[in-house]
Amino acid sequence: MTKISCRQICFIMLIYTAVSKFIIYPTYLSYYTGRDLLFSALINFAVQGVIVWSVSYLCSRTDKTFFGLLKDTFGNIFARIIFGLFALFFLLATINPLFEQKLYVHDIFYDTVPSLMIFLPVFFFLVYASAKPFLNIGRCADICLPLFLLSMLLILVMSLHEVKFDNFLPVFTQPKKIFSSSLASVFRFIEPAYLLMFMGRFRYKKGDAAKITISYIGGAVFVLVVLAAFYGIYGDVAPTRHFAISKISLFFPAIDLVGRIDLLALYVLEITMLFALVLNIQLAIECIAQCTGYENRAVLSVAVNAVFFLILIFCDNKYNAISTLFSKWMWIVFLIFANLIPLASWFLRKKNEED
Amino acid sequence: MVTLDKNIKGVKSVLTSEDIIVFEFASLSGKKFASIYADGVADKQLLGELVAKPLKDVKEDDTLEEIKKRLASPEVKDGDKIADAIKEISDGNAVLFVDGEKDFFIIGLKKPPGRTVAEPPTQVAVKGPREGFTEDIKTNLGLVRKRLKSDKLQIKTLRAGKQSDTAVALIFIDGICPDGLAERVQKEIEQKSVDIVPDSSYISQFISKKPKSLFRHNGSCEKPDIFCAKISEGRVGILVDGSPIALTVPYMLIEDFQAVEDYYQVSYRSTILRILRLVSLMVGIFLPAFYVSAQLFKIQLIPYRLLLKISSSVSGLALSPSVEMFLTLFLLEVLIEASIRMPKYVGLAMSVVGALVLGDTAVQAGIISTPAIIIIAFSAISLFTTPDLVETSTTLRWLFLIIGGSLGTFGIVMFTAFLICYLVSEQSYGVPLLAPFAPIIKGDLYDSIVKSNMYALNKRPEAFKAKNKVRIKER
Amino acid sequence: MKKIKKYVPVLYWAIVVALLGLYFTNDFGLVDIHKTSFIVAVGVDTEEDEVQVTAQIAVPQPSTSGDSINYIEVQGSGFTIADALNEINAKTGTYPQLLFCQLILIGDSCKDKELFQVLGCFYRRNYSELTALVAMCEGKASDMLAKPASIAPENSEGLQKVLSHELEKSGNVTKANLKTIAEANFSESKACYMPYIQMNKPGTSQNGGGDRIGGDDVEQSQSTASGSGQSNGGQGGASAQSGGGQDEPVEFTARKTAIFSEGKFAGILDETQSFALNMLETSVDMAIIPCTVGETEYTIGLKGISGKADFKVEKGVPKLTVTFKANAQVQGAKKVLEPHSVVNDDVVKKEVLDGAEKELKTRFENLIEISRKTGCDMLGIRKQLHKYYYKYYDAFKDDVLNRMEISYKIEVISTN
C-alpha cells in the first residue's frame, strides 16, 4: 500500500538531514577539527550518500518492505527481532537530538526561565504527532519544505556578507583529527535507516534513486554552507559559540533597525526540527508495531514518550555525558544499523520462490 | 363517491391551524370545488387567476381529466392520498378537491415571503456579479440554472428535519463530479434525524466527518457565481431551503483565501492579494501572542528603540503584559459581539463608548497601554481579510495568546507544529484539507496562493479527481 | 480505545485550564519586561584586584506616548564583571540585560591587565552578543560615561556616533567589536586594536600628538570627575550625573587607536598612524589627507580607495607589499582661491599628487615602524604567513616583522 511518495522522501532527505545538524554539530566540529571541519563533514556525507543511493537503488529491485525482505530470507521471528532492534535504535537515535533541542530551545526562545520545565510541554506534541500514521510523515515534509527554504534563505542571506573564506586556511594541517571527528560524528547520520523503513511503501519509478540521492546531497550542501558560514564568521572563536544556526546572522547591519528578525526565521526552522525529531519516534513506533503486532499507535506513542520524559528528567544537565557516550561508545551501534545493515540488505531475498 | 366535505374534513382534522384556508367555489353549472392552502405562503392571486377563473365554465359532468385541462397553472400534479395533500399544503402549494372525486390536484402556487435577490453582506465584490442567494430554494435554484445551462446539471432534492421537512437540493454536474460523491453526501444527510433544519449550518455538521473540529470540512458561499464555479470544478453543491448560505464539498483550506474577484482581475494582482491575505491571517493570529511572549520571555525579539518605547508605555501599568493583552482582547470581542447584536439606533453611542472610553480613557488611566491597543486593533482588522475563516482564526488567536503567554515563544511554535500535524491528516470527502500543499499537487498550485492566468488553469483541480479533467480547450 | 477517546476532550480542557493558570500567574521564575533593565553601555575600570563596572542603564519612565527614557549610571565592583553586575542588580532591583549592550568602554586603568581578563566575561555563553563595540578611553570609563555629550541627548549615543559606520567609511575611526577583537587576538598574529576615545570641551581641538608607543601615560585632557560607587535614582530628563553638579557637555573623538599584542596593551597610534591602519585594514570610501607642496598646504580628498598589505614569501624571503590606490581631488588649499582654478580641482597637478603619495608613504612607514618596535602585528602578517605560506610558518613566525622586506606601491591619480 502506497503511504508515502518519492517526492516526500526526497523532501525528508533534504530537510530532516540538514536541520538536525545545525545545533551542536558545527560547534563540535570547530572544536575538534578547527578549520578542516568541512572535510570532516564531507567524509560523513560522502559515505552516507553512497549508502543512501545504494538503499534507494535497492528499492528499484523490489517492491517489498524491509520487513518483507527479512521475513522472506530469515523467517518471521528473525524479522521481528531485527525490527525490535531497529525500534531500539531509533529510540536511541532520538536521545541526543532531544537533549540538543532542549538546550537550543532554552537559548533561543527564552532568556530567564528554567530550561527543563519550559521544555517538558513538548511531550504533548510528541505524543500527538508520533501517534499519527505513516501518511502523516510525508505530508508534514511537504509543509516543512517551504518553511525550511524560506527560513534558510533569510538566515544565509543575513550571514554571508560577514563570512571570510580565508578563515579556512591553511587546510589539512591536522588530518588525523578530520577522521577521528568524522568517526565520532557517526551517530548523527542515520538517513539510510530511514530509507530502509520507507522501502516498499512508495511506488518506485525510474530515476527515483537519483532523485533521492540528489536530495540528500542538497541537504548535505545546506549543512556544509552553514558550517562554512559559521566558521567563516567566527574563525578561531567558533568553539565558544553554541547553536551555530542562531549565531551566524547576528552581524547583519539591519538587525539594529528591525530587531532580531533572524529569530523569526529560526522559529520557523524550529517547526521542521520538531518534525525531524518526531520522525525518529514515528519510525520507532512503526518498528515496535511490526515487531509485536500491536497496532495501537496512541498507546505506543504514550509509552515511548514516557520513557523519553523520564530520561530527560533524570538526565537533566547531563548533556556532556550523553554526548560523550554517543560519540565515544555508541558510534558502533550507529555504524551497524545506519551503515552496515542498509548495505547488507542487498543480500536479502528480493523475490519470492514462486517468482 | 367521496364528497367535498369529507375531503375537507380529512385535511382540516390534521391541519387544524387557522391559517389553513378552505376556499369553496363552484362553476356556473354548479360543479363544486374546494381549494385548501396555507395563508401567507400560497399565492392567492394566482389561485384566482389560474384555478378559480378557468373552472367557472366547467360542466357538471366533466371528468377530472377535462377539469385538469381547463386549469391554467403550469404546475399541476395528481394526488390521491390525503397525507400527500397535507404535505403539499404545508409546503405552500394549494390542493384542489372536486366534489364527488377521491383524487385531487396539487397546484404549484408557492410564493413564500422572502427577500429579493440582492448583494450578500458577507461576500462583497467590487468587480463582478452582485447577485446573492436568498432564503427561497427555488429562487436559488433559478440563480444556479441561470448560470449553468448545461444539460448535465443534476439536482437531487432531499428532505431533512422531521418537523421542518426542509427541502435540500444536491447539485452537481454529471460527467464532472466524481462517481459516488453525491451519493455519499446524500447518505450522510439522510442518515441524520433531527427536528428542524433552520439553516445550512445544520447540514454542514451532518456532512462533516468531524463536526467538533476547529476547522470546517465544507465550503460555503452566498453568491451563485462562486457556487457554480465550484460545482464546475467537480464539487457537489448543497442548497437548503430557508438559508442563503450554500455549501460545497469537498473542501480545501486554500478556498478561504480565494476571493471571487481574484478571477475577475489580472492574475498578478490576485496573487499579491492572496499573499496579503495569508500574511494578514498569520499576523492577526500570531501578533498578540508574540507581543506578549516577547515581553515575558524573549525581549530580544523587539528592536531596541521600539523596546524602549514599549517599555515606557507599559512601565506604569498595574497589569502584567499577559493580563493586559487578555483584557484588551476580551474588550475587543465584547465590542464586536455587541456591535452585531445592538439595535442600529444605539450603535452610534456605543461606538463612541468603544472608541473613546475603552480606548483612549483606559490608556490614560493606565489600565492598558497604547501598543496593546494598536496590536489588537491591527490583529482584528487583519483577520477580516479572510472572512470565511474568522470563526476559526479568532479562536486560534485566543489559543495562541494563552499558549504564548504561558509557555512563551516555544509554545507558539509547538502549537503551530501541532496544528500542521493535525491539518495534514484531515480530509474532506477524500480531499486533504491542505491540498495542494500537503500532498503537493503540482497542477493545482497554479490556483493556490499564486493565481495564474486563465489559460494556465486549463485543467480542473486534480485534488477532486473530476471525471472530465479538461476545463479550457482551444477549438 | 473508545473509553480513552471519551476522555480526550477532558484532557484538552485540563490543558487549557492549566495553561490559563500559568498564563495569569507566570510564577516560575520569569523575569519579564517590568523587571529588566537595559544596559546600553558598560564601562570597565580596574583598581588593584577589583573590577569596577559602570553600567549605563536605560530606564523607561511611564508615558502614554512611550518617549520618556532616563539614562542612569550605576556602578558596581567585584572580582569579575559578572560579580560587579550582580552588585548592580542588587542596587537597582532589576535584572541587568547585557543583550542590548552596544558599547564596552575600557578605561586607562585596564592597560596593566590582560585584555581578555577584562573582556573575557563577555564571551561567556550568551552573556552578551559579540556585536557590541569595544573601545578604550582616556581616563576612567566611569567618568567618560558620566559626561553629557554635546552632539546627542545621551552619553552612550554620543559615544556611538564617534564610532559610527560613516566615520569608519571615511577612515577617521577604527571600529572593533567583541568578535573582531577575539578573532584578531586568538589568531596567529595575537594582535588586536580598538579605537581610543578622548574627550574635549566643545570648541577646542584634539591635541595632535597624543600618546605614543611604549606605554607612556596618556595626556589627560579632562580632569576626571568623582563619584565611583554611587548610583542615582531614575528621575529627571537628561543623563543623571555622578557626584552631583551639572557637567558641561563634551565632544568625543576616536581618531586614535589603542593596540594590543598578546593580550597586553602595546601603545596608542596617533591620528596619522590610525589613518594608515584604516586605509589598509578597513574598506574606506572617502578620506582626507593633507599634503605640502612647496610652501602651499593642500587638503586632498581621496575616493575609490583600495589599500592592502600583501604578504608573500618569494624564494624564501618574506616580503610585504603595501599597495594603495585612490583617485584624488583637491578639496582645499592654504592659498588665495582663484575662481578659474576651482574648475580644475578634479585635475590635480602632478606635484600635488606626488605630495599626497609622499604623505601616504610616510604614514605607512610610521605604522610599520611602530608595528616592528612594539612587536604588535596589527597588519596580520603572521596570520597571512600561517594561512598562505604554512610551510614557512615555523621558520619565520618569531621574527617575520623584522625580516620582511617592504615595498610600497602607492598610486594616487587625479579624478579627471
Give the neighbor-by-neighbor strand order of the sheet with C317-333: C286-293, C296-314, C317-333, C405-414
The Cα–Cα gap between A335 and A347 comes to 18
In a domain, residue A170? The reply is yes
Q: Which three cell numbers stand for residue B198?
A: 433552520
Q: Dihedrals φ, ψ of B68, to 5°? A: -60, -35
- SS3 for A303-318 is HHHHHHHHHHHHCCCC
In chain C, residues with a C-beta closer than 8 Å to the C-beta of A250 are: 129-131
User: For position C27, what pLDDT does the model report?
Assistant: 59
- Residue A350, domain member (yes or no): no
Kindly determine whether residue B301 and residue A259, on different chains, have CB atoms separated by under 8 Å: yes
What is the mean pLDDT of the segment spanning C400-411?
A: 91
Band (pLDDT 50/70/90 cuts) for residue C239 is very low
Q: Which three cell numbers stand for residue B409?
A: 515563544
CA distance B323 to chain C (A): 6
Confidence at residue C336, expressed as pLDDT on a 0 to 100 scale: 67
Which pLDDT does position A11 carry in this prediction? 95
Give the cell for residue B338: 455587541
Contact C126/A at CB under 8 A: yes
ipTM of the assembly?
0.93
Chain B residues closer than 8 Å to C97 by CB = 299
Residues B291 and B399 in one domain: yes
C390 with A237: Cβ contact below 8 A? no
Q: What would the pLDDT profile of A190-217 be if each residue is shown by its tens digit?
A: 999 999 999 999 989 999 999 999 999 9
Find out whether A105 and B410 touch, Cβ atoms under 8 Å: yes
Whether the model pTM is above 0.90:
no
Taking contacts as CB-CB distances below 8 angstroms, the residues of chain A near B253 are none
Q: How far apart are CA A128 and CA A140, in angstroms?
A: 14
User: In chain A, how many domains are there?
Assistant: 1
Alpha-carbon gap: A162 to the closest alpha carbon of chain C (Å):
11
Q: Which of A256, A258, A263 sits opposite B300 (nearest CB)?
A: A263
Instruction: For chain A, list residues whose CB is within 8 angstroms of any CB belonging to chain C.
Output: 107, 111-114, 117-118, 124, 166, 169-170, 173, 233-237, 240-242, 250-251, 253, 255, 296, 298
Q: By CB neighbour count within 10 A (0-12 exposed, 13-18 middle, 19+ buried), where does B375 fall?
A: buried
Report if residue B186 sits inside a domain.
yes
Q: What is the dihedral of CA A163, A165, A168, A169, to 10 degrees?
A: -140
Of A112, A173, A235, the CB nearest to C95: A112
Q: Does residue B308 fall inside a structural domain? A: yes
Residue A9, min C-alpha distance to chain C (Å)? 32
Contact check, Cβ <8 Å, A107/C126: yes
Helix (H) or strand (E) holding C84: helix C81-92
In order of A256, C99, C198, the CA distances from A111 in angstroms are: 19, 10, 36
Task: Test A117 with C28 for CB contact under 8 angstroms.
Answer: yes
pLDDT band at C348 (very low <50, low <70, confident <90, very high): confident
Q: Which chain B residue has its CA at the smallest distance from C32's CA?
A: B296
At B128, the pLDDT band (50, 70, 90 cuts) reads confident
The pLDDT value recorded for residue A163 is 92
Q: What is the pLDDT at residue B403? A: 93
Residues B144 and B256 in one domain: yes
- In whole angstroms, give the CA distance from residue C83 to residue A137: 50
Q: Kindly state whether residues B230 and B321 are assigned to the same domain.
A: no
* CB-CB contact of C210 with C129 (8 Å): no
Picking from A206-210, A330-334, B63-67, B354-358, which range would have the lowest pLDDT averaged per residue?
B354-358
- Note whether B323 contacts C24, CB cutoff 8 Å: yes
In chain B, what percentage of residues exceed pLDDT 90?
41
Distance CA B146, CA B149 (A): 6
- Chain B contact for C94, CB < 8 A? no
**Residue B256 domain flag:** yes
Identify the CATH number of the domain in which residue A142 sits. Answer: 1.20.1740.10
Residues of chain C positioned with their CB less than 8 A from the CB of B310 = 33, 66
Three-class DSSP category at A260: coil
Query: Is residue B246 one of the residues assigned to a domain?
Result: yes
- pLDDT one-digit tens code per residue, A318-343: 899 999 999 888 899 999 999 999 99
Q: Determine, for residues C29 and A240 on separate chains, whether the beta-carbon distance falls below 8 Å.
A: no
Q: State residue C226's pLDDT score.
A: 33
Give the Å distances, CA to CA, from B93 to B19, B43, B158, C79: 13, 9, 18, 97
Lowest mean pLDDT among B96-100, B439-443, C59-63: C59-63
CATH 3.30.300.210 fits domain C274-414: yes
- The minimal CB distance from A271 to the residues B303, B416, B437 is found for B416
The residue from B409, B424, B439 where one domain ends is B424
Distance between C182 CA and the closest CA of chain A, angstroms = 7
Cell numbers that stand for B472 in this block: 479550457
**Is pLDDT of B227 > 60?**
yes
Tally of CB atoms within 10 A around A6? 21
Q: Is residue A347 part of a domain?
A: no
B222 and B311 assigned to the same domain? no
Question: What are residue B359's DSSP bridge partners?
Answer: none
| Same domain, yes or no: B17 and B50 | yes
Which residues does B57 contact at the CB level (< 8 Å), separation at least 6?
B27, B28, B29, B70
**Hey, are the CB atoms on C131 and A234 less than 8 Å from each other?**
no
Using the predicted structure, report yes or no on whether residue C205 has a pLDDT greater than 60: no
Which residues in A lie closer than 8 A to residue C95 (C-beta atoms)? 112
Domain of residue B62: give its range. Answer: 4-107
More confident call, A113 vs A47: A47
| C contact test, residue of A35, A112, A119 with most C CBs within 10 A | A112
* Contacting residues for C200 by C-beta, under 8 A, at least 6 apart: C206, C221, C222, C250, C251, C253
Clarify whether residues B416 and B356 are in a common domain. yes
CB contact under 8 A, B300 and A267: no
Q: Quick: pLDDT tens for C113-172.
A: 888 888 888 887 556 678 889 999 999 999 888 888 877 777 777 887 888 777 888 888
What residues of chain C lie within 8 A of the CB of A170, using their CB?
Answer: 386-388, 390
Separation in Å, CA of C382 to nearest CA in chain B: 38
Considering the domain boundaries, does residue B438 fall inside one?
no
Chain B residue nearest residue A4, CA to CA = B439
Write out pLDDT tens, residues C36-63: 778 889 999 988 888 899 998 888 777 7
Element (H, E) at A226: helix A208-234
- Give the Å distances, CA to CA, from B421 to C62, C126, C266: 43, 33, 60
* Chain C touching partners, 3 or more CB pairs below 8 A: A, B
Give the pLDDT confidence of B276-317 residue by residue, as tens digits: 999 999 999 999 999 999 998 888 888 888 888 888 888 878
Q: How many CB pairs lie under 8 A apart between chains A and B?
A: 104
For residues C380 and C401, give the distance between their C-alpha atoms in angstroms, rounded to a whole number: 10
Chains contacting B (3+ CB pairs below 8 angstroms): A, C
Type of residue numbered B380: A
Q: What integer best gives the mean pLDDT of chain B?
A: 89
Q: Test A169 with C388 for CB contact under 8 angstroms.
A: yes
pLDDT in tens, B463-475: 888 888 888 776 6
The answer to whether C29 contacts A234, with C-beta atoms less than 8 Å apart, is no
User: Chain C contacts of B371, Cβ < 8 Å?
Assistant: 66
> Which candidate from C22, C32, C68 shows the least CB-CB separation from B406?
C22
Q: Which residues pair with B220 in a beta bridge?
A: B247
Whether C186 has its CB under 8 Å from any CB of chain A: the answer is yes
Mind listing the pLDDT tens digit for each residue in C165-185?
778 888 888 889 999 999 898
Determine the residue of chain A that is closest to C391 in CA distance.
A170
Q: Are strands C296-314 and C286-293 parallel, antiparallel or unpaired?
A: antiparallel
Domain shared by B372 and B294, yes or no: yes
- Indicate if the pLDDT at residue A263 is higher than 50: yes
- Note whether B13 and B71 are same-domain residues: yes
B124: exposed, middle or buried (Cβ count in 10 Å: 0-12, 13-18, 19+): middle
Is the pLDDT assigned to residue C210 strictly greater than 70?
A: no
Q: Is the peptide bond before A170 cis (omega within 30 degrees of 0)?
A: yes
Q: What is the mean pLDDT of residues B262-275?
A: 92
The set of residues, in sequence order, having a beta carbon less than 8 Å from that of C64 and lying 6+ positions away, is: B313, B363, B364, B369, B370
Numbered ranges of CATH 3.30.300.210 in chain C: 274-414
Provide the domain count of chain B: 3
Q: Is residue A343 part of a domain?
A: no
Distance from C-alpha of B299 to C-alpha of C100, rounded to nearest angstrom: 10
User: What is the average per-residue pLDDT within A226-254?
Assistant: 91
Confidence of residue B389 (pLDDT cuts 50, 70, 90): very high
Measured at the CA of C182, the angle between CA C180 and CA C188, to 5 degrees, comes to 100
Note whether C246 contacts B: Cβ–Cβ < 8 A: no
A142–B424 C-beta distance less than 8 A: yes
Tell me the residue range of the domain where A76 lies.
Answer: 6-335
What is the tens place of the pLDDT at every residue in A85-128?
999 999 999 999 999 999 999 888 987 767 777 888 999 999 99
